[in-house]
């Protein structure tokens, strides 16, 4: 102890001097480089956030499912309600042997989990936690999210196919069919929002909802659009009741049957990160993003996401799995027509209200 304290003091002093000096240098950086630096720092923050997120949500899901089934869930690791359980699990996964099946396509097998994580990481770029806490405010933000979201399917398909396992391939095929089908209602339910906000930029969409003018209640069609988006995003996430790609009772574990250790945890991380991304998009697009009572800020954004994720977990532990044909019927016979009606209805409402109000754009809330 006698030696550690002065050493720590020395280290802190050294850090203070050098970091302070480095910060002083920041002023002399050219503007573009400074912007790049800020982007990198925010990006690094998001990366850390994204890696810690699944740890928390896996723990939360285990606790919630336990309570729903009258159990306690993890209680031991870390003392208070097993809050370190997922950390311990992650350490276990890190220590596991890195297995690649002999019959698998080595390169694709190794690439697939990276692609899956990359897809969910990429979606984080445009999530507007607050007006400034956003990695890049793309003017095609919403389109970008839907676009990179689809890369995840490639990862899943790649994983299933390269595993050279019948269950993996079946799961991957189901997953691809499901996700590609459910892209359509997602896009169609986002369409009215884009019409109302007049922009694809996520920040502009949130700013259009300032003052409790949430798009979820902008007109009678929007709650339906929100519902469709929520259901379809559940299907996109391969979560129960739409988890047929990894139906344990039919397909062992679906596309990640052959994966173990770190690669498997990558898929797991991607799944939970995707869950957050879906909730975040729903928050951005329908629930007013960072706006809330008292003060607008990232806390409100996170709170809304959190509520949606809890809802997803609640649904997961309530509903049984759909059959493949039921899943497709739900998409093509119910969600797609309903979302078309939504898009058409919301657009018509917008036009009619605008006409009645004398063409003043921006006042399309039916109560205002």
Partner 1 sequence: MNSIRNYFMNMWDGIYTVLVGMKVTWKNGLLRPITVQYPRERMEIPEGSRNQLYCNIDDCTGCLACERACPVACITITTSRRGAEEEVYTSTGVRLKLAVPKFDIDMSLCCYCNLCTEVCPTECLVMTAAHEFAVYDRGDLIYRFDRPWQVQKGILPPAVPDYKPKPKAAPAAAAEPAPTTG
Least spacing, CB of residue 327 vs partner 1, in Å:
13
Q: Which is nearer to partner 1, 70 or 360 (CB)?
A: 70
Least spacing, CB of residue 231 vs partner 1, in Å:
10
* Whether the Cβ atoms of residue 186 and residue 232 lie closer than 8 Å to each other: yes
Least spacing, CB of residue 79 vs partner 1, in Å:
13
List residues binding partner 1 (CB under 8 A).
64, 66-72, 75, 314-315, 317-319, 333-334
| Of the candidates 195, 164, 143, the residue with the CA atom closest to the CA atom of residue 354 | 195
Alpha helices in the chain (DSSP H): 4-26, 31-68, 85-95, 106-123, 141-149, 151-162, 166-197, 202-207, 222-236, 248-251, 261-286, 298-316, 324-329, 336-356
Q: Which is nearer to partner 1, 181 or 240 (CB)?
A: 240
- The Cα 129–Cα 289 span in angstroms is 7
Q: Which is nearer to partner 1, 242 or 364 (CB)?
A: 242
Q: Which is nearer to partner 1, 75 or 111 (CB)?
A: 75
Q: Which is nearer to partner 1, 81 or 110 (CB)?
A: 81
Least spacing, CB of residue 51 vs partner 1, in Å:
29
Least spacing, CB of residue 92 vs partner 1, in Å:
21
* Whether the Cβ atoms of residue 133 and residue 42 lie closer than 8 Å to each other: yes
Q: Which is nearer to partner 1, 18 or 67 (CB)?
A: 67
* Whether the Cβ atoms of residue 339 and residue 225 lie closer than 8 Å to each other: yes
> Which residue carries 């990558």 as its tokens?
266
Q: Which is nearer to partner 1, 159 or 335 (CB)?
A: 335
Q: Which 3-state string (H, E, C) describes 182-217?
A: HHHHHHHHHHHHHHHHCCCCHHHHHHCCCCCCCHHH
* Inter-CA distances, 242 with 334, 338, 340, 349, Å: 15, 19, 22, 33
Least spacing, CB of residue 57 vs partner 1, in Å:
17
Least spacing, CB of residue 332 vs partner 1, in Å:
13
Least spacing, CB of residue 36 vs partner 1, in Å:
47
Q: Which is nearer to partner 1, 47 or 329 (CB)?
A: 329
DSSP code at position 96: S
- The Cα 320–Cα 102 span in angstroms is 35
């Amino acid at each position: 102890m006698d030696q550690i304290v002065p050493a720590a003091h020395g280290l802190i002093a050294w850090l203070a001097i050098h970091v302070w000096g480095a910060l002083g240098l920041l002023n002399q950086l050219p503007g573009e480089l400074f912007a790049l630096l800020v982007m990198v720092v925010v990006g690094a923050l998001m990366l850390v956030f994204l890696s810690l997120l699944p740890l928390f949500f896996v723990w939360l899901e285990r606790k919630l499912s336990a309570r729903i089934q009258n159990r306690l869930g993890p209680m031991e690791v870390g003392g208070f309600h097993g809050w370190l359980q997922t950390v311990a699990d992650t350490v276990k996964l890190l220590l596991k042997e890195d297995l690649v099946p002999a019959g698998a396509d080595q390169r694709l097998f190794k690439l697939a989990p990276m692609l899956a994580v990359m897809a969910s990481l990429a979606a984080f770029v445009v999530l507007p936690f607050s007006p400034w806490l956003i990695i890049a405010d793309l003017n095609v933000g919403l389109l970008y999210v839907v676009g990179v979201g689809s890369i995840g399917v490639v990862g899943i398909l790649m994983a299933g196919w390269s595993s050279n396992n019948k269950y993996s391939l079946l799961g991957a095929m189901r997953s691809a069919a499901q996700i590609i089908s459910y892209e359509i209602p997602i896009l169609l339910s986002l369409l009215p929002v884009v019409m109302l906000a007049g922009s694809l930029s996520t920040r502009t969409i949130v700013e259009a909802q300032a003052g409790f003018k949430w798009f979820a209640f902008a007109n009678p069609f929007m709650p339906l659009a929100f519902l469709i988006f929520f259901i379809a995003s559940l299907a996109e996430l391969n979560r129960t009741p739409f988890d047929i790609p990894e139906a344990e009772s039919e397909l062992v574990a679906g596309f990640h049957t052959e994966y173990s250790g770190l690669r498997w945890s990558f898929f797991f991380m991607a799944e939970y990160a995707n869950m957050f991304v879906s909730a975040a998009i729903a928050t951005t697009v329908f629930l007013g993003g960072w706006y809330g009572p008292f003060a607008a800020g990232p806390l409100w954004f996170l709170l809304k996401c959190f509520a949606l994720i809890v809802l997803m977990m609640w649904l997961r532990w309530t509903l049984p799995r759909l059959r493949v044909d039921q899943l497709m019927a739900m998409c093509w016979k119910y969600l797609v027509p309903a979302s078309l009606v939504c898009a058409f209805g919301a657009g018509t409402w917008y036009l009619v209200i605008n006409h009645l109000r004398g063409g003043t754009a921006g006042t399309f809330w039916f109560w205002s």
